Amino acid sequence: MSKKVISCKGLTKRFGDFTAVDSITFDVDKGEIFGFLGANGAGKTTAMRMLCGLSNPTSGEATIAGFDVYKETEKIKKSIGYMSQKFSLYDDLTVQENITFFAGIYGLSDKAIKENSAALLKQLGMEDQANKRVGSLPLGWKQKLAFSTAIIHKPEIVFLDEPTGGVDPVTRRQFWDLIYEASGNGITIFVTTHYMDEAEYCNRVSIMVDGRVEALDTPTNLKKQFGLATMDEVFYHLAREAKRGE
């Protein structure tokens, strides 16, 4: 049996009388690419914050890389990587400075930082850019760099919150090559996206509607289950029933 890296059961978060996340239950395996979809306001960000150890659940259970989301949040933070479209790298720092900074935050030794960042720059073909400020790089490069930095400490899981917005279709695919490679190396990928073709690239996909996980399966099975041709249609079918906005 494959190892469960994320396991949550009845996980719930309430803010006052508003239930942002309503008893979600699922497991994610080691090395799996897990798509976490939902309309704006469905509760994705709140759920992700709980899974990252940044927000205490109201009720339910969850373990991330074997650590409890109530009691072992510091251990969770060391076992995960995180990248979002909104914030990932410091524009005013150089490529090398960003890598050194984040690797340091993730607790790598000076020696490991040196080795890992050299390997990272080589893998991305960015050796010549090492001393350029991140703000001057094209968006696609920034995204690739942000992803590689988020996994520089070889975490068990990397959380990607809409990582590929705004880039051209070729660059978007290059980004997914990095995801596949990381997954092949045993890193679990937990990704949100508004691009439904990217949902098809995931091993399994969950769709959240109004705080609940309304569907969870492989893209092929989901399409079969709803008798629809594309993930776009499956998403639309489920999410248009949503009662609440953001």
Partner 1 sequence: MESVVVKNITKTYGKEKKIAVDDVSFSVNKGELFGLIGPDGAGKTSIFRVLTTLLLADRGSASIDGLDVVTDFKSIRNTIGYMPGRFSLYQDLTVEENLSFFATLFGTTIQENYDLIKDIYIQIEPFKTRRAGKLSGGMKQKLALCCALIHKPNVLFLDEPTTGVDPVSRKEFWEMLKKLKEQDITIIVSTPYMDEANLCDRIALIQEGKILSIDSPKNIIDNYPDVLFAIKADKMYPLLQALSVYPKRLASYAFGEFAHFSFQGKPNQPDLLQFLENKGIKNIEIKEAAVTIEDSFIKLLS
Q: Which residues bind partner 1 (CB under 8 A)?
A: 38-41, 138-140, 162, 165-171, 173, 176-177, 180-181, 183-184, 194-197, 200-201, 219-220, 230-232, 235-236, 239-240, 242, 245-246
Minimum Å gap between C-beta 44 and partner 1 is: 10
Long-range contacts at 134-142 (CB < 8 A, ≥ 24 apart) = 134/89, 134/90, 134/91, 134/92, 134/93, 134/94, 134/95, 134/98, 135/91, 135/92, 137/95, 139/166, 139/167, 139/171, 140/167, 140/168, 140/171, 140/174, 140/175, 142/88, 142/89
Minimum Å gap between C-beta 107 and partner 1 is: 30
Q: Are 28 and 6 in contact (CB under 8 A)?
A: yes
Q: Are 30 and 190 in contact (CB under 8 A)?
A: no
Gap between the Cα atoms of 70 and 75, Å rounded = 11
Quick one: 104 or 180, whose CB is closer to partner 1? 180
Minimum Å gap between C-beta 96 and partner 1 is: 22
Quick one: 19 or 171, whose CB is closer to partner 1? 171
Minimum Å gap between C-beta 215 and partner 1 is: 15
Quick one: 63 or 206, whose CB is closer to partner 1? 206
Quick one: 16 or 71, whose CB is closer to partner 1? 16
**Token pair in block for residue 227:** 């008798």
Minimum Å gap between C-beta 109 and partner 1 is: 32
Q: Please name every residue paired with 212 in a beta bridge, in sequence order, or none if there are none.
A: 209
Judged on CB neighbours under 10 Å (0-12, 13-18, 19+), 95 is buried
Minimum Å gap between C-beta 231 and partner 1 is: 7
**Token pair in block for residue 85:** 């479209």
